[in-house]
Structure 1
Amino acid sequence: MAENTNLLVIGGGYAGVMAANRLTQRDDVTVTLINPRATFVHRVRLHQLVGGSDGAVVDYREVLAEGVRLVVDTVARIDAADRSVALASGGTVGYDYLVYAVGSGSADPRVPGAGEFAYPIATLEDAERLPPVLDSAPMTAAVTVVGAGPTGIETAAELAEQGRTVTLVCGGVLGPYLHTRGRRSVAGRLAALGVTVLDGSDAKVAAVTRDAVRLADGRELPSQVTIWTAGFAVPDLAARSGLSTDALGRLLTDETLTSVDDDRIIAAGDSAAPSGLALRMSCQAAIPLGARAADTVLSLIAGEQPETLNQSFGAQCISLGRRTGIFQFGNRSDVAVWFHIDGRLGAKMKEVVCNGIVKHLADETHKPGGYSLHRVKGGTGRQEALEAKRGRAPATAQRAA
């Protein structure tokens, strides 16, 4: 009888669920997924949870294959030498191959007072704290959203559409990914909703108090509720486990997503840094990376050479309330182009994308290996960046002491 191979996935987000489902293609494997929550978080809808229009969770029975064993727990440490992980609740789980997909969250804000008085929304637990706070505040209360990436823009629009008084503090450019034309469209919609947008180099937060936000240029904004969407961080599990990471703590891998330290550990999603050149934080990257990670594991089990990363991007979509949105097209190297679709059609396209994410995961439960978007050829941008990087002295990896 053929020996069974134990496959372990850490993290039940977009990348982890795709990887776990795809790994069930083989009959001679046991797939275990460890996740701290018993429900799947549809992260791109967290701003809707804050606004009260969606719960942002999906039952794992809808997106996780029946053959995947779900363990609701947190991994405290990876023991690569022993091929096992220690659980926070006690005990260990062994593996033959491990997929590291622990995701990302908000960086601890270093701005004075932000950690105490501002509300992050990068995780389900963070987002769930906000509705009661907003409900207890009058509709006329000043709300400040810090950070003008997609989450900040969507949150500001969602709340302003309800009639709240919202200021969006960009800390730089509104919608950094957007093309100039797309940015004008977003700015126009926010203005129509009554959102005050503060951008430019002076629009950086210097301090947060219980009832105000102080900017770098000395301006003080009244703020009864301050929402923090700026910054990016990943769990420090890899670094704590002695694995090589980039400066932000993402696991360093080669272009097959295999750890530079251990060929039994493969990374996917926001917590992966292939060749030290991490992809943009997005479900658009996470799901294909999850599929690629699973394909790498399956190739290694079969004794075959895994394919290298070939990531293609196409767009960034942002909702601007429930009735309007923007679908910003980009080239395959993930650079925004002049063309975008906005208005009601933009909102409908964003909703199609959000529903399509769950469908991709659900489809993989019924037909593992059916997903193929990770095989769409990417642009030349990554290859050019890799060649440029190889032409320089290699960056020093950050290794935990």
Structure 2
Amino acid sequence: MTGKTDVVVIGGGYAGVLAANRLTQRDDVTVTLINPRSHFVERIRLHQLVAGSGDAVVDYREVLAEGVQLIVDTVTEIDVAARTVGLASGGMVGYDYMIYAVGSGSTEPQVPGAAEFAYPINTLEEAQRLRPVLGAAPATAAVTVVGAGPTGLEVAAELAEQGRKVTLVCGSVLGPYLHPRGRRSVAKRMAKLGVTVLEGPAATVTAVTPDVVRLSGGHTLRSAVTIWTAGFGVPDLATRSGLSTDAVGRLLTDETLTSVDDVHIIAAGDSAAPSNLPFRMSCQSATRIGAHAADTVLSRIADQQPAPINLGFAGQCLSLGRRAGLFQVAANDDTATKFHLAGGPAAKLKEFVCRQALKHLADEARKPGSLTWIKDEKRRELLQAKRSEVLSVR
């Protein structure tokens, strides 16, 4: 290519910011980041915002490279043929390449009453809406947290540590990703905090009212505040724009993170489904996938073949209040192992990880191309197994 190459990044979360910063390696690339908020949101701290034990908002000047133009607006459509994106304000931005990093959020629950009477906390606005509700509720009011993934565990522990009466409804099992040993450690911490944990087939929510949560086992829980952390959804922008997506709405890509429909569109973060085998959502994966998305764009600009993504994991960090936590060690392929770190040391490690996530963004802004990551060779085996499964069905 000759002249300037315009790259638009949609979404200013961990993946989008890392990608935008990394793209500034080349002086002949103009980078535009489009995000609906004028500040960066530390999503991994939203449970602290809800509990009033911390904040989750950071000035973009702390994490975004000076050479990146920030447009505070919402992308409403992608015109693939014209290579433009339409904005809610009525404007339009053209691109040579686009990185689709719209992230993820809550999906409207199908349980009767949940959408009306339960509070999701997957976005800043949702967390801000819940904060005053909790603040107005008496300290003795019953709080029900639905969902025992990382968000559910963290908000339940955070509130219980403050003396709240919390019931955690798991639906199936406490911390599905965790190894049994790690799960027992979390259960022990929840018991110490006084959290009532409901697991198993009888612990599925069937209805929510303003002051009651009904369960599949026939039980009824009094609940002054119900917090909904179950479910996963992504914005439907790609689907509405006629791009191929998976069943959830993530953009379908090849292993270089390039859209299966258009080589000028690359996906990153929670909204990417490479080979229809998306990675587990986390800030760890989001930043690395964002970096790889940028590398794919830079390779195409240089007329080079982009490399397939090779991303390994170290584990998962959980905060269980301000004084304890859990680090679940994982193999490079993200399989939980029997090893874990718990208690105060794990809480300190989680705080370190949160700070490092921001540092990675800031470091990439100052020295683009510097982020490195763990590799995992087992993904090839997963892909081969998937292909074999498809062929056997045919």
Calculate the TM-score normalised by the size of structure 2: 0.98
| Structure 1, unpaired ranges of 5+ | 396-401
SS at match of 1:298: helix
SS at match of 2:389: coil
Alignment of 1:319-330 (within 5 A): 319-330=319-330
2:386 pairs with 1:393: no
Give the corresponding residue for 1:304.
304
Structure 1: how far apart are the matches of 2:74 and 2:258?
A: 22
What RMSD, in angstroms, separates the aligned Cα atoms of the two structures?
1.3
SS at match of 2:297: helix
Offset at 1:393? 3.0
Structure 2: how far apart are the matches of 1:339 and 1:144?
A: 30
Alignment of 1:343-354 (within 5 A): 343-354=343-354
Q: 2:376 aligns with which of 372, 375, 378?
A: 378
Structure 2: how far apart are the matches of 1:377 and 1:248?
A: 27
Structure 2: how far apart are the matches of 1:152 and 1:187?
A: 13
Q: Render the CA deviation track for 1:326-382: whole Å, top value 9, x for unaligned.
A: 011000010100010001001000011000000000000100011111xx32141x2
Structure 2: how far apart are the matches of 1:118 and 1:4?
A: 48
Give the corresponding residue for 1:177.
177
SS at match of 1:246: coil
Q: Render the CA deviation track for 1:93-145: whole Å, top value 9, x for unaligned.
A: 00000000000001110100000000000000000011110111100000000
Give the corresponding residue for 2:24.
24
Give the corresponding residue for 1:243.
243
| Structure 2, unpaired ranges of 5+ | none
Alignment of 1:220-369 (within 5 A): 220-369=220-369
Give the corresponding residue for 1:159.
159
Offset at 1:392? 3.2
Offset at 1:194? 0.3
Structure 2: how far apart are the matches of 1:288 and 1:299?
A: 16
Structure 1: how far apart are the matches of 2:15 and 2:219?
A: 41
Q: Render the CA deviation track for 1:220-271: whole Å, top value 9, x for unaligned.
A: 0000000000000000000000000000000000000000000000000000
| Matched-pair contact (CA < 8 Å) for 1:24–1:31 | yes
Q: Render the CA deviation track for 1:166-190: whole Å, top value 9, x for unaligned.
A: 0000011100111100000000000
Offset at 1:281? 1.1
Offset at 1:394? 7.3
Offset at 1:89? 1.1
Offset at 1:274? 0.2
Structure 2: how far apart are the matches of 1:372 and 1:284?
A: 11
User: What residue identity is the alignment partner of 2:86?
Assistant: A
- Between the two proteins, the alignment pairs up a number of residues equal to 393
Calculate the TM-score normalised by the size of structure 1: 0.97
Alignment of 1:142-221 (within 5 A): 142-221=142-221
| Matched-pair contact (CA < 8 Å) for 1:118–1:225 | yes
| Matched-pair contact (CA < 8 Å) for 2:201–2:217 | no
Offset at 1:276? 0.5
2:55 pairs with 1:55: yes
Structure 1: how far apart are the matches of 2:80 and 2:391?
A: 24
Q: Rate the CA distance shift 1:394–1:234 in 2: closer, same or farther, 3 A.
A: farther
SS at match of 1:148: coil
User: What residue identity is the alignment partner of 1:389?
Assistant: K
User: What residue identity is the alignment partner of 2:282?
Assistant: S
SS at match of 1:77: strand
User: What residue identity is the alignment partner of 1:7?
Assistant: V
SS at match of 1:393: helix
Identical aligned residues as a percent? 69
Structure 2: how far apart are the matches of 1:301 and 1:394?
A: 35
